[in-house]
Amino acid sequence: MHYNLGAEQFLFSQLTKDSSEFNFWIPGEVAEHFLERAKNPCKISQELFNKYVTASPGYRYHIRKAIFYSYMGLNYETDRKNKKQMEQLEAFNQAVAMVVARHMTVIDTLGHKFAYITDINDVKMVEGWKDLFDIMGSDYSHFRKGKFHKLGEILTSMYGCLNSEIRDGKYPDTGLQIPSPQEFLDFMNNEKTEQKPPDEDTL
């Protein structure tokens, strides 16, 4: 997959300038990585994703936070030479990729490909994206080498961009209803959750 970064940025700005949604440009090499990592999910990442695609926005907020905190704990405690521990870490890494890929659009216009994520324009939801980019960026930039280290630096820059925009008040607080911790636990423990994606307008 070939990406032209200059064309990406221009086409993205033209596409989203009148949008009332949250849209965030994903650099080409990062988008490609997310899409690749989302393939062939393990049991843990698939179970988390199954819950995610059936959840309302408030529950999706909780799921992102749960992935973030689980990944963060494993990121600093995992013995990178221990295969079983690394499998757990990689499960949450893959869960991040699957969530991002769920919201990602890749467009081919005049021979140029570019990618972006779309979500509800609410500060709580944007904070969730910030957290996911932060923890994956930290994993890659601090503990991995080669292309992963480079991706980590880009992800950390994406985190920094969103963090600055949140501090500057760019994103509104729409009063998004967030379920209580107990309601969230009940949702996650409910094995009868209907396996059906939400309507597009709830994304």
Dist CA 116 CA 107 (whole Å): 9
Task: Flag whether 200 is in a domain.
Answer: no
175-187 burial: b if 16+ Cβ within 10 Å, else e: eeeebeeeebeeb
Number of domains in the chain: 1
Q: DSSP secondary-structure letter at 3?
A: B
| pTM over 0.85, yes/no | yes
Least confident of 2-6, 105-109, 136-140: 2-6
Sign of CA dihedral 148, 153, 159, 165: negative
Task: Flag whether 118 is in a domain.
Answer: yes
Task: Flag whether 198 is in a domain.
Answer: no
Task: Flag whether 91 is in a domain.
Answer: yes
> How many CB atoms are located within 10 Å of the residue 191 CB?
5
Higher-confidence residue of 112 and 180: namely 180
Per the prediction, the chain carries an average pLDDT of 88
Domain that holds residue 109: 5-170+177-188
Q: Do residues 107 and 8 lie in contact, with contact meaning Cβ atoms separated by under 8 Å? A: no
Angle at 195 between CA 194 and CA 200, to 5 degrees: 100
pLDDT at 167 > cutoff 90: yes
On the CB side of 112, CA atoms within 13 Å amount to 13
Task: Flag whether 202 is in a domain.
Answer: no
